[in-house]
Amino acid sequence: ILNVEQSPQSLHVQEGDSTNFTCSFPSSNFYALHWYRWETAKSPEALFVMTLNGDEKKKGRISATLNTKEGYSYLYIKGSQPEDSATYLCALRSRGTYKYIFGTGTRLKVLA
Amino acid sequence: NAGVTQTPKFQVLKTGQSMTLQCAQDMNHNSMYWYRQDPGMGLRLIYYSASEGTTDKGEVPNGYNVSRLNKREFSLRLESAAPSQTSVYFCASSLGGSDQPQHFGDGTRLSIL
């Protein structure tokens, strides 16, 4: 069974701070890695889909990088705002399957 | 835009009762998924359907069955509900390519007494 690990489990930062989280995964048979943002009482929403080693994606103040050879992805938030408070999930898809394995998420709380 | 629609939103069952959770998407997506979400466990895949006419087991399929009724609809059935199946259930869909994200429904909160 593949194991996708996210760290830290939870994080409190002050408004304006920059922060980053890690998603670690087995590097063999890599096909795609997704990042999702999940606000309380809502459903997960896709942030990034990453498929190539060295990929860097950006959406506003949020960006992500991917290293498939060593099996990790970083999510960065620059100048955190209270509205960034959410759980951030990563999900791995391996080659030859349509299944996704999710990490347990990083819960971010941005304090005003 | 409806996206992925799940019904019902909430349900309480007694142990041993059966129930079908419905999911429909209007985005012409090929792949559909059922997940359960439990505290501290993240999203765990129950079953998925890569395309119309196919279904496969995920990480936690025991106690569940699924039907891909057509391209739009993917239902999840609990034949004999157990308290361990108390959870929030999410349906998701995707075009299916490596660069395509999943789109999630709003979830069904299911309690089994």
Using a CB cutoff of 8 Å and minimum separation of 24, what contacts does A58-66 make? A64/A35, A66/A33
pLDDT over 80 at B1, yes or no: no
At residue B79's C-alpha, the angle toward residues B77 and B80, to 5°, is: 135
pLDDT over 70 at A27, yes or no: yes
Chain B residues within 8 A of A87 when measuring between CB atoms: none
With cut-offs at 50, 70 and 90, classify the pLDDT of residue A1: low
pLDDT over 80 at A42, yes or no: yes
Q: Which two tokens stand for residue A98?
A: 């349509």
Closest CA of chain B from A60, distance in Å: 18
pLDDT over 90 at B42, yes or no: no
Q: What is the pLDDT of residues A58-74, one digit of tens each?
A: 999 999 999 999 999 99
Q: Pick the closest to residue B109 from B78, B86, B92, B81 (CA basis).
A: B86
With cut-offs at 50, 70 and 90, classify the pLDDT of residue B28: very high
**Chain B, window 54-83: residues with a beta carbon less than 8 angstroms from a chain A beta carbon:** 56, 58-59
The pLDDT score that the predictor gives to residue A50 is: 95
**Average pLDDT score over residue span A10-26:** 96
Q: What is the pLDDT of residues B59-108, one digit of tens each?
A: 999 999 999 989 999 999 999 999 999 999 999 999 987 789 999 999 99
Q: Which two tokens stand for residue A14?
A: 């002050």
pLDDT over 80 at A13, yes or no: yes
Chain A residues within 8 A of B36 when measuring between CB atoms: none
> Any residues with CB less than 8 A from the CB of B106 and at least 6 apart, and which?
A42, A43, B6, B9
At A29 the three-state DSSP class reads: coil
* Cβ within 8 Å, pair A46-B48: no
> Any residues with CB less than 8 A from the CB of A75 and at least 6 apart, and which?
A20, A21, A23, A35, A47, A62, A63, A64, A88, A90, A106
Distance CA A53, CA A48 (A): 14
Nearest CA in chain A to B32: A98
Q: Are A57 and A64 in contact (CB under 8 A)?
A: yes
With cut-offs at 50, 70 and 90, classify the pLDDT of residue B41: confident
Q: Which two tokens stand for residue A63?
A: 């960006």
Q: Pick the closest to residue A88 from A66, A70, A68, A109 (CA basis).
A: A109
> Any residues with CB less than 8 A from the CB of B47 and at least 6 apart, and which?
B33, B34, B55, B56, B57, B58, B61, B64, B66, B76
Q: What is the pLDDT of residues A73-101, one digit of tens each?
A: 999 999 999 999 999 999 999 988 889 99
Q: Pick the closest to residue A61 from A50, A76, A74 (CA basis).
A: A76
* Cβ within 8 Å, pair B98-A32: yes
Q: Which of A43, A49, A101 sits opposite B90 (nearest CB)?
A: A43
* Cβ within 8 Å, pair B96-A98: yes
A99 inside 8 A of chain B by CB? yes
> Any residues with CB less than 8 A from the CB of A28 and at least 6 apart, and which?
none
Q: Which two tokens stand for residue A52?
A: 């190539």
Q: What are the backbone dihedrals phi and psi of residue B85, each rounded to the nearest 5 degrees, phi first?
A: -95, 5
Q: Which of A43, A44, A51 sits opposite B98 (nearest CB)?
A: A51
Q: Which two tokens stand for residue A109?
A: 């709380």
The pLDDT score that the predictor gives to residue A3 is: 87
Chain B residues within 8 A of A98 when measuring between CB atoms: 31, 48, 50, 56, 96
The pLDDT score that the predictor gives to residue A5 is: 95
Q: Which of B40, B48, B99 sits opposite A98 (nearest CB)?
A: B48
Q: Which of A42, A51, A103 sits opposite B42 (nearest CB)?
A: A103
